[in-house]
């Protein structure tokens, strides 16, 4: 016969397990909300970053001393500007996507990066685009003239840093495709 003074250990275990699961789910939810806000902030910074670079490249495109050197060693500034606009559009899509996730209480698990052929295609396409971008930034850096005032702006270093990050992104995509 069970003792009424002694608490049922199964009920205590179930209660503590339920409360522990509830706490873990709340921690996961708050972590996901923080990561969503962080994603939005990072994408806003990327949009501002790219806007500075677009403005700088547009000024360079009309610069005579840069265009003289660019005739012999062609660097496609228009391609760089278009790429920067694509990054801005992608960042806006990421912001909208991140903010729409705030409506859901539980994040659903998605598939892997390369679960379907379409993702594989986009990954391979991004590798090609990133390689061309890094190449044209390299060509651009060769055409920067020390004596030309319009190329001497600190924003060009943002472009160099961006291409450096994209180079690592390209290596990451290559590893993901062939892993």
Q: Which residues of the chain have pLDDT under 70?
A: 1-32, 101-116, 118-119, 173, 176-179
Round the CA-based radius of gyration of the chain to a whole number and report it: 25
Each residue of 2-35: pLDDT tens digit?
555 555 555 555 556 666 556 555 555 555 677 7
Distance of alpha carbon 158 from alpha carbon 163, whole angstroms: 9
For the chain, the first-to-last Cα distance in angstroms comes to 61
Taking the domains of the chain in order of start, what are their residue ranges? 10-103+111-178
Question: How much is the pLDDT for 17?
Answer: 61
Question: How much is the pLDDT for 18?
Answer: 61
Question: How much is the pLDDT for 3?
Answer: 55
pTM: 0.66
Report whether 144 contacts 75 (CB < 8 A): no
Question: How much is the pLDDT for 69?
Answer: 78
């Amino acid at each position: 016969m069970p003792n009424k003074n002694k608490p049922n250990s199964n009920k205590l275990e179930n209660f503590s397990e339920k409360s522990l699961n509830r706490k873990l789910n709340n921690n996961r939810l708050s972590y996901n909300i923080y990561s969503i806000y962080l994603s939005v902030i990072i994408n806003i910074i990327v949009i501002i970053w790219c806007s500075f670079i677009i403005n700088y490249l547009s000024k360079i495109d009309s610069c005579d001393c840069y265009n003289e050197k660019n005739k012999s060693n062609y660097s496609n500034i228009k391609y760089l500007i278009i790429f920067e606009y694509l990054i801005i559009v992608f960042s806006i899509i990421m912001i909208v996507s991140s903010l729409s996730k705030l409506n859901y209480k539980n994040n659903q698990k998605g598939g892997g990066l390369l679960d379907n052929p379409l993702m594989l295609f986009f990954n391979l396409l991004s590798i090609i685009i990133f390689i061309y971008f890094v190449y044209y930034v390299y060509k651009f850096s060769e055409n920067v003239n020390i004596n030309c005032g319009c190329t001497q702006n600190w924003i060009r270093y943002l472009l160099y840093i961006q291409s450096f990050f994209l180079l690592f992104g390209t290596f990451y995509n290559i590893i993901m495709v062939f892993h």
